[in-house]
Amino acid sequence: MELKKKKNEAVESHPGPAQSRAEDIPANHAPDLEKIRLRAYEIHLERGGLSGNELEDWLQAKRELQRAAPLKAQQFLVAGEAE
């Protein structure tokens, strides 16, 4: 019984390259708040830095990053298969 437990621990503690990359991408593809904040600020600057559209900037940034997340996830998976 002890040998089986140690074997399972060894397998779990050494993920393969494809597995470790897949773990970096959230399953729900939700971008983190810091990335949304930075993109929203970029959008704000692109509009000339005028205030009053903070919510629209935030929502646009979130949509853009959510659309980009599945593409990045697929790139990681394809890269992992090539190795």
Provide CB contacts within 8 A for 83, sequence distance 6+: 17, 18
Which of 46-49's residues contact partners 24+ apart within 8 Å by CB, and which partners?
none
User: What is the band of 59 on the pLDDT scale with cuts at 50, 70, 90?
Assistant: very high
Q: State both tokens at 7.
A: 């074997």
Q: Which of 2-11, 14-23, 39-48, 53-62 has the lowest mean pLDDT?
A: 14-23
pLDDT at 43: 97
- In angstroms, rounded to a whole number, what is the distance separating the alpha carbons of residues 39 and 60? 9
pLDDT at 18: 47
User: What is the band of 19 on the pLDDT scale with cuts at 50, 70, 90?
Assistant: very low
Decide: 70 and 30 in contact? Cβ < 8 Å: no
- In angstroms, rounded to a whole number, what is the distance separating the alpha carbons of residues 43 and 18? 34
